[in-house]
Chains A and B, each alone.
Chain A
Amino acid sequence: MSVDAPSREVPAPLVEGTSRRPRHWGRFVLPTYSWLVIAYLVFPIVVMVIYSFNRVTAGLQLVSFSWNGFTWQWYRQWSNIPGLTSAFWLSLRLAIVSTVIATILGTLLAIALVRYRGKRFRGKAGFEQILFLNIAAPEIVMGASLLGLFVTFNVARGFFTLVLAHVMFSIAYVTVTVRARLSGFDVALEEASYDLGANPLDTFRLVTLPLIMPGVLAGALMAFALSIDDFVTSNFVSGSSAPFPVWVYGASRVGTPPQVFVFGTAIFTVGIVFALLSLLVSKRKV
């Protein structure tokens, strides 16, 4: 007879020593827990999406959290607030430029870290530590020190400093992702390419890059996501050109226009689409 089942609804078995082990409430624990966590994570997003459709009754067109009825108004008037729109385009441009740069540099770095050791890459261990530090260090530290640096050397804050900062904090993530893909790479494939007459550049273009592409894309996606929602570092180094998160933070002190929720929903939707795409790509690959 089962001893450890705490259930009381089950009538005692007629025959002692039955092999059945009732675990009635046990099987609900994991699903319940999982759904609670998911709800916890998704709740703010759901609120944002819902209230992007909320009618505003007050004179000032600001978000209020009383439900006034459904409207497409904010989607029709998505570009009505010039400061918000330009902040959004700035963020998008910034994310694209810094992703491209960080992906190229990070991928090359990953290749160097996997392929070269000993005499050909002195100080490799130190380098790996710096990469780790780059990921682990609090953003506030990086942001503040970058600002200090730019002020000291009298570099004007703007798009350039934003790109510099975003590339800096994205590289390590790209490197780590690409390196994971490279570690299972059979070097004989590159030797085979040389053997068949391809020079190093052709070998990289025709063999290495296509094979590590899933890793490179995943790294790029990460860099893009990090850049588009970055607030802390951007707040320090943006100067007068505030990207989307910095602008929203500034606006929220007075009141958030509903268009913020529209942009937020748009970014979230694009993110979901990318995530689904990457899932498809990684499933298709070996």
Chain B
Amino acid sequence: MSDTSTTSVTPGSVNVSLSDVTKSFDGVVAVDQLNLTINDGEFFSLLGPSGCGKTTTLRMIGGFEEPTSGRIVLGGRDVTYTAPYHRDVNTVFQSYALFPHLDVYENVAFGLRRKKVAKDEVKKRVGAMLEIVDLPGYEKRRVNQLSGGQQQRIALARALVNEPALLLLDEPMSALDAKLRHQMQIELKSIQSRVGITFLYVTHDQEEAMTMSDRLVVMRQGKIEGIGSPQDVYDNPSTEFVATFLGASNLLAGTIASRGQEITAVALENGTTLQVPTARVATSTVGSVVKVGVRPEKIRIHVSGSTTTTGNTLRGRVRVSTFTGVGNQYIVEMASGEDITVYAQNIGEELAPRSGEEVELSWPIEHTFAVRPAENVISSDELAS
């Protein structure tokens, strides 16, 4: 039935790979020619707005949906059309899906019982797992007597106790309140490093994905828009969508004016020229339309004329200044009418510019990137999460 015992976890080796996986429902493409490789021991996240295909991808790996085309290889075995009960994968469901007619012990023991694990062994492993999720002594409780956070831990325990080669987590925190969610993120990450099992985590919450993941992909409309470590994807977004979905970005439309070995110059519509490291420009042809981006926290803001600036510089007038405690958030309106958001940390160094003041914005060239404009408009719905 199951080959758990033969699976050895060697960090760095391929755990699961998807090649050209496509899934369409009645002609509507949910996942489009997806290629993805996840390594053993990784905490990997699929991040994207609802309807981007991340849950469908997870369900295909779990065996609950069959790909329309493509191949899924898990631990060296082609499982594309294998039934879920013959895969060495376990899932933490969004609704937890705990069995309401069984107590906590029977819920956690369910998978081991199916594998005909000896009674003493079941008892030992369930007990150990309840320790890991910090709910020892809860064996006899009914699952509907547990709080949302406790139910989530039991769902995690029920999946992990089987020591799967890969654990799938389908937005497991979406039902928890913000404080509990934050606490569980840290806990989940520490459990993952303790048990050493590969986690594939699906979420629409970019902060959650960045906090926990070793690597992540950003998905949109069934396709991968960006892949890499959270820092890599954040600092070096590959598309306009990634730049806006993962954190906030200031994006200014322009055209490539010249291209050097190191630096590419982009002329903005208002006449200013910004310099971008050539390595961080998505398209290289001179004359093509791009969007130049810079993260709000990378920008230094000062009252015009107060210091000399280096790197890229823009001028504008402070439209809104908001004090947030840890810093100030400014919305600066440029002569062209475009707004630029700036986060300045509250380190007590400079005098904060006030609303209406003329300011200069500057940031190092290496923090500038240029992406191809999104082919179809990014709706506010997609960014709502």
Contacts and interface: CB of A to CB of B under 8 A. Distances in A.
B85 A186 contact: no
Contact of B110 (A191, A196, A286): A196
Interface in B210-252: none
A281 interface: no
A206 B93 CA distance: 19
B1 interface: yes
A286 B84 CA distance: 29
B144 A286 contact: yes
B138 interface: no
Interface in B334-377: none
Interface stretch (B46-54, B94-102, B186-194): B94-102
Q: Is the interface of A mostly helix, strand, loop or mixed?
A: helix
Contact of B83 (A186, A194, A211, A286): A194
A211 B91 contact: no
B55 to A, nearest CB: 12
Q: Is the interface of B mostly helix, strand, loop or mixed?
A: loop
A188 B97 contact: yes
Interface size class of A (residues with CB under 8 A): 10 to 19
Interface stretch (A50-58, A85-93, A197-205, A260-268): A197-205
Contacts of B144: 286
A192 interface: yes
Interface in A177-224: 186, 188-189, 191-199, 202, 206-207, 210-211
A206 B85 CA distance: 14
B114 A196 contact: yes
A192 B99 contact: yes
A197 B85 contact: yes
Q: Which residue of B63, B83, B110, B115 has the most chain A CB atoms within 10 A of its CB atom?
A: B110
Given A188-B93, A191-B64, A191-B93, A196 B111 contact: yes
A186 B93 CA distance: 12
Given A188-B93, A191-B64, A192-B91, A197 B115 contact: yes
Interface residues of B, number: 27
A195 B94 CA distance: 14
B97 A186 contact: yes
A199 B85 CA distance: 6
A286 B97 CA distance: 15
A225 to B, nearest CB: 27
Given A197-B111, A198-B114, A211 B90 contact: no
Contacts of A189: 97, 99
Nearest to A189: B97
A195 B64 CA distance: 9
Contact of A211 (B63, B100, B159): B100
Interface in B1-29: 1-2
Given A198-B114, A202-B114, 6 more contacts: A188-B97, A191-B91, A195-B63, A195-B85, A197-B2, A197-B85
24 contacts: A186-B97, A188-B94, A189-B97, A191-B84, A191-B97, A192-B98, A192-B158, A194-B64, A194-B83, A194-B85, A195-B63, A195-B84, A195-B91, A196-B114, A196-B159, A196-B162, A197-B111, A197-B162, A198-B114, A199-B85, A206-B110, A210-B101, A211-B101, A286-B100
Closest 4 CB pairs of A and B: A196-B111, A197-B114, A192-B97, A188-B97
